[in-house]
Amino acid sequence: MALVESAYRGDASRVGWTTEADLLDGQRTDAGAVRDIVDSASSLMLLALDQEELVGCCQLERRADGVCYFGSFAVRPALQGGGVGKALLAEAERRARADWQSSTMEMTVIGQRDDLIAWYERRGYRTTAERRAFPYGDDRFGLPRRADLEFVVLVKDL
């Protein structure tokens, strides 16, 4: 949980390039949300370790029709841009294909995150026309600093 928070929120997140600090205050996740992922039979958390230190993580969730959802992606801010995220994403895709026979990886990204969307596009993801509402009023997802947030859906054929 602390890794995800440090990668996206507050001043600590500004060390890396994935910060959402200009878009959202408050939390990005909480212990209950992480527990739900770990306890679910259809989800798992992949961890990237350097020695025994947690440096990255992501969630995979098996969905219907060969779709695997990718989320809760975080890399320690000081290590961003060094290849940890690229390697973790590649392993997530490999696991989705090999373990669950998923044919598609899907994710949502805040639409205002052009730099992050471009990073995923360089790795073969494509932006769809689908948009999903930001959960305004649900503090579990943060405290918006602007009123126009929405999620863009990205997909990649595996």
DSSP letters spanning 80-91: TTSSHHHHHHHH
Whether 58 has a pLDDT exceeding 90, the answer reads: yes
Residue 126: per-residue pLDDT = 98
pTM of the model: 0.92
pLDDT in tens, 86-107: 999 999 999 999 999 999 999 9
Average pLDDT over residues 14-43: 85
Residue 11: per-residue pLDDT = 83
Whether 30 has a pLDDT exceeding 80, the answer reads: no
Spelled out in words, what is the top-level CATH class assigned to the domain 2-157?
A: alpha beta
Token couple for 8: 């996206």
Q: Would you call 60 helix, strand, or coil by DSSP? A: strand
Q: Walk across the sheet containing 53-62 and list its strands.
A: 43-50, 53-62, 67-75, 104-110, 150-157, 126-133
